[in-house]
Amino acid sequence: MNPVRFTDCTLRDGEQAAGVAFTVAEKVAVARALDAVGVDRIEAGSPVMGGGEAQALHAIAADGLRARVVAWCRADRDDVRAARACGVPEVHLCLPASDAHLQRVLRVTPDAAGRARARQHLLDVVAAALDLGLAVTAGLEDASRADDGFVADLAWALAEHGVRHVRWADTVGVLEPVTAAERLGRMVAQVDVDWEIHAHDDFGLATANTLAAVRAGFTWVSTTVGGLGERAGNAATEEVAMALRHLLDVPVGLDTTRFRALARLVATAARRPLPAGKAVVGGAVFAHESGIHTAGVLATPTAYEPFPPEEVGGRRRLVLGNHAGRAGLRHVLRERGIDVEERALAPLLAAVREHHTTSKRAPGPAALRQLADRAVRSLRQDGDDAGPGDPARPEVA
């Protein structure tokens, strides 16, 4: 398959998440980090908001980034003029496509006449943007709940007026991947443009729907770092990239080794800590505790890891917790320079498990050394060989 290209919307859709607000300096820092990762386009904000939003757009547009800097606009001439004043080279014009959104936003009736007026309105704004020297892409809002014939008609009209990049938006996350590939494949076959998928995660399917769109022939994906976005968020940049590479064998032109640092930067600016188990970038996704798993991953990492942690800027961790085994314990002891005779491993493992159960955390270096010293002293005082371990918790590795 051909490479898939990325439009990152963290600075626009990501900031629309309730309670999230980036400073100008934070926006510039995130834009630079996105550029270093290698995204193709950065949707940097909505210029008609003015104030700090316009200031940030201007600063990012003037920063000499390799990525294309894009302003998100409603299909409105005022938005386009505000974008031009910010010095961005490109605007993304958004028009409602579903009947419900046409009625709410443009106040047109959901019939042929109303749709015709909406179509002409969009084309008029496209012409105004092009007259100002701006490159134009277009987004069809709520396309997943719109009539596919009307969506195709809008895309044809846009292509005839020089807009070759069209975003198909699953605005409230109601698309599902089983039928998405067939539906979107028909759209690709009907209209020869560069299709982009913009998926929301209301049912936890944003990444799956994005992959389905790529299977259908979409060549652009619209994502946000960590999936940050309105309500349940968007398809996550890092999830989509790694799934494309490893599940669909699609080339991804991104420096994935920067993903975890990028995710931490965005999470800090958004004041939204990353969940420990967040796919690809969470702090625990390369942490192993279970005895079977630690023994397996120490022998053959691919036994329990879909890709090396270094590929996304992470590292493997073995956790001495309630399900730890001897292989993991031996490994951590060696890492920390703690020398323990083999017969002391069973009582030490029992002590480690007890420590984790009572304190709800793995023993740190000092605590582990204390537990090891205690286990060794106990053996020497008793003068007995250690048994097979806690009979209630059989050894598994």
Average pLDDT over residues 300-312: 89
Alpha helices in 248-364 (DSSP H): 259-270, 291-299, 326-335, 345-359
- pLDDT confidence bin for 196, thresholds 50/70/90: very high
Give per-residue pLDDT as tens, 247-267: 999 999 999 999 999 999 999
pLDDT of residue 387: 46
Distance between CA atoms of residues 171 and 182, nearest Å: 19
Select the highest-mean-pLDDT range: 40-44, 288-292, 321-325, 331-335.
40-44
Please give the single-letter amino acid code of residue 130: L
Average pLDDT over residues 110-122: 86
Indicate where the chain has its CATH 3.20.20.70 domain(s). 5-270
Residue 103 has pLDDT above 50, yes or no: yes
Give per-residue pLDDT as tens, 198-219: 999 999 999 999 999 999 999 9
Please give the single-letter amino acid code of residue 164: R
pLDDT of residue 397: 41
Average pLDDT over residues 96-104: 86
- pLDDT confidence bin for 384, thresholds 50/70/90: low
Please give the single-letter amino acid code of residue 344: A
What's the chain's average pLDDT?
90
User: How many of the other CB atoms lie within 10 Å of CB of 234?
Assistant: 32
pLDDT of residue 340: 80
pLDDT of residue 393: 44
Alpha helices in 75-111 (DSSP H): 77-85, 99-101
User: How many of the other CB atoms lie within 10 Å of CB of 189?
Assistant: 11
Q: What is the separation of C-alpha 71 from the centre of its chain, rounded to a whole number of angstroms?
A: 21
Of residues 85, 87, 38, 40, the one with CA closest to residue 61: 87
CATH number of this structure's domain 5-270: 3.20.20.70
pLDDT of residue 248: 96
- pLDDT confidence bin for 85, thresholds 50/70/90: very high
pLDDT of residue 383: 62
